[in-house]
Structure 1
Amino acid sequence: MNIIPIGIWGGYPKANSSTSSFLVEEDGFHLLIDCGSGVLSSLQNYISIEKLDAVIITHYHHDHIADVGPLQFAKLIQNQLASNAKTLAIYADEQDLGYETLTYKNHTNAYPLQSSQRIGPFSIDTTLTNHPVRCLALRLKSKEKSVVFTADTGWQASLIPFCKNADLLVSEANLYQSFEGKISGHMSGRQAGELAAAAQAGQLILTHLPHFGELSDLVLEAKSEYKKDVSLAEVGKVYRI
């Protein structure tokens, strides 16, 4: 399984970048996790849009869905040019009015993201996170290897069993430790490390990063709790598990 960060920022993209998003590849299947601002442009550095097989939307905040509309227009253009039109599957929480907007003619089609299901080569489990709107953390498993994406969340102990023994934990770290308890719905680097340690994850990658401060401090905070491999997500790097 290959995990490729497409974007790393929370809230909005910095110049020439995109918000937190990941491309997951296995056996020729290409799955995009979240499609916020700048993601569609960044994605094309790694695969052509027509090779995309499915998309998962963790929640409906703009930094996770802003490029869904452009993606739908891209599919419209491609299907007009292609001899065989392909409908792109978009999986998301159906308990939101935004769910209906994910279906666009015969170019994209919305499917409910369930607590447990199969998408391509992946078995996928979800759980609700601690966020101001409904948001789903994801656990993907293929060939006995697993990766967990926390999506956006504040600290919650119920994530520990969900992340248990994951080969790779991709955790949000939108806060520095000094902001713990002051801003809800997000974790600090230290809390991401605490989660990785309690879950005995094999590796920790930090994403959904803040736009201020020294990002390297997030890694130091995480390492104060978690003694294994910790790094900031690096756009375009291929993490193989």
Structure 2
Amino acid sequence: EKLKEMGLIEFENEGKNAKCWVIRGDNNEDDKVIVRSNGTATYIAKDIPYAAWKLGLLDDPFYYQKYDANQPNSKTLWQTSLNNDAATPQNFTAQKVITVIDSRQERLQKIITTLMEKFNSIPDSYIHLGYESVTLSSDTAKTLGLETDGKQAQMSGRKGVYVSADSVCELLKQKITEETKKRHPEMEDSKIEKIAQSVSIGTLRYEMIKQDLDKIITFDLAKSLSLEG
């Protein structure tokens, strides 16, 4: 409703987007449908209030309660709840929001960034940090049980083509444990366990951040575990 009041979206009366609410495209860009002719909201229509909520531009619909687990840094972890019984008021809004999403959503994020600038008086309060898509090498995809016909696998949550960080870390940990035992058979298992845990997490982090943001990230288990050089 706020978008309508501010004249940021328009109702289309004709053409392929007839009876839809749209955001007009800049220059030669196509208009972006926000609400379809049947009244259903598109993907970006849900991202707009989500971004506004992060910046505190909308009333917070959630209640919060402590998550029942101890954090390594001893800080309290909060979880959202729709139940206000024993809920504790919290304020998690921010003056600056950095959204990390791959560059395939660059245009959608550009629209959201523009809208947040119109809603919020703080400049650069919403920033899209884009990166190229993440792929798995053909060998790694095969190791993880994905059928790719010998090609790289581009991960996509919507298509169900993805692997969890936990599964990758576990594979890395197993390989590091095996290699460490070969090189240091005298080492205690508890120490090997600690080393494997640290190296597996560090390896995954490095493989994800070593590339420039404008280059495709290809994760390869064998290369990431190379202990030579």
Question: Normalized against structure 1, the TM-score is what?
Answer: 0.26
Report the structure, 1 or 2, having the larger helix content: 2
Higher relative contact order (CA 8 A, sep 6+): 1
- Greater share of strand: 1
Larger radius of gyration: 2
